[in-house]
Amino acid sequence: MEIPLLQIDAFTSQAFKGNPAAVCLLDQAKPADWMQNIGAEMNLAETAFVVPRAETGHYDLRWFTPAIEIPLCGHATLASAHALWETGRLSEAQEAHFHTMSGELICRRQGNLIEMDFPALIAEPATLPAAAVEALNIKPVNVVCHRRKDGSDGNFLIELESGTAVRNVKPNFYLLGKAANAGFIVTARGDSNYDFVSRYFACYAGIDEDPVTGSAHCMLTPYWAAKLGKTEMNAYQASARGGEVRVRLAGDRVFLAGEAVTVLRGNLLC
């Protein structure tokens, strides 16, 4: 039986920019080990698996890196919504409701943009592990951390002195993978075009540098909203591919918006 599979560049209007995600459109749920094997085969930051529910417009959604299943992913959610509209599974007037490990996530079209409704991730002051300081070779201005539900460190957010400092970070990925079972966001105030810039490293999940990370902006948005006194901002993730994210903070929710481009359509044969 052939299973539709799309590769979509998210948070960009141009092919080969933004963050690529594979989207697997299933008729029914598959075992986790099968999905993990597909994630490893695709070898992208994330592969999304979409399964329809009985209620129109509602889907179960799971995300796998080449190494692990993760609880929240922005770019592969945006790509999943794009795939549903593009393949006609949803009309563009319909919202996409995804049921995930992080609760219900809602996507809607706003012209060329896809807006996603995500939970805000609030961080607490933290000390960066010494191994991470060595691996990143940076001088932090401020460090905070969002903790997982079990109390363990999730993502560290590290503010640097400038956007240039963010772009110039050259991690030792081997050391960073050993520093903590966590991701590392480096960020700074932006320039005239962007309110803030960032990069994201997730060696613990099998991803050295993620090109554009929606879930990281769930932390970045409340952090920079408090610093800048703004609830709506334009952000840029300064990876080699690069990508733009429009963000809006509304209470305990973060709205992330961006474009998407399909670059590949095919079928899984296994």
46, 209, 244, 259: the catalytic one is: 46
Spacing of C-alpha 255 from chain mean position: 13
Name 198's Cβ contacts closer than 8 Å, sequence gap at least 6.
Answer: 166, 185, 186, 187, 188, 213, 216, 217, 220, 235, 236, 237, 238
Q: Name the residue with tokens 């417009």.
A: 57
Length of the chain: 270
CA-to-CA distance for 56 and 73, rounded, in angstroms?
23
CA-to-CA distance for 146 and 116, rounded, in angstroms?
20
CA nearest neighbour of 222 among 120, 141, 146, 145: 120
41 is catalytic: no
Write the burial class of residue 149 (CB in 10 Å: 0-12 exposed, 13-18 middle, 19+ buried).
exposed
What are the catalytic residues?
46
